[in-house]
Amino acid sequence: MRKAAAFKATEYLRDGYVVGLGTGRTAAYAIERMAAMARDGLKFICIPTSEASASKARSLGLELSTLDEHPEIDVTIDGADEFDAHLNLIKGKGGALVREKIVASATREEIIVVDEEKSVRMLGEKEAVPVELLRFGFRVTLRKLEALGCNPKLRSNDNALYFSDNGNLIADCRFGPLSNPHKLHEELNNIPGVVDNGIFVGLAKRIIVGSRNGVHVIEKLT
C-alpha cells in the first residue's frame, strides 16, 4: 500500500524539480522510483531530510544538494505517523522531525504518503508526539514537558540513548487525543531546550493514501 502511494506521489514531479526527500520506509520507495525516473532522463536536485535518505539517494545516483544552495523546493515527498481530516500530522518516528519540518517549510508542495492505518480522527490517538531537545539541561526540559500533561520517554536504540542527526535527544511524549494540536505545538516549542516537535500543522498540501482498495488522494481545501 505504501509503495503504491509513494509511486503515485512521484507522478507530481517534473523534470528539473528541486525535490525534498523525506525519511523512512515510505519515503525510500519514492527515492527508488525517482532513481528509475532519472535513469529514464529526468533530472532532479534532491534535498535530503536525513543522513539515511542522503545515503540511499546517493547510492542510486540521484543528485544531492542543500537548502543553502536551493532554499526553495518544488515538491517534498515524505511520510507521516498520523494524519487527520485537516491534513495535520504527527511525524518523527524516523528521528528526522526537525529537518523534515525545515524542509517542509521551504517547500511549495508538501506531499505526504501513508497507508490507511495512519488516518485518525484526532492526532495523538495512536502515537506519541516526538520532541527533539538539547542535551544540555535535558532533565529540566523533561520536567517542563511533563508539566504539559505527558510522561516523556527518552528514545533509545540498542539500550543506548538515541541521538538525532543533529546530535540531539528525542523524547516521545504521549498526550492522548489532541483537541488543539496547534496550541500544543506552540506550547512545546516555547519550552527552553526544545528544538522542535513532531506536530506538523498547515504544512501538508496533499496526502496520498494507500489502501486495500487502491490509492486515493486527499487535497487541502483552499
- Report residue 158 as a C-alpha cell: 540498542
**176-205: b or e for each residue (b if 16 or more CB lie within 10 Å)?**
eebeebeebbebbeebebbbbbbbbbebbb
| Active-site residue, from 100, 110, 127, 132 | 100
Contact 167, 136 (CB under 8 A): no
- Report residue 206 as a C-alpha cell: 496533499
Rounded CA separation 104/203 (Å): 7
Q: Is 100 a catalytic residue?
A: yes
Report the C-alpha dihedral over residues 169, 137, 152, 119, rounded to 10 degrees: -50
Residue 101, SS3 per DSSP:
helix
Q: Is 166 exposed, middle or buried (0-12, 13-18, 19+ CB in 10 A)?
A: middle
Catalytic residue numbers read 100
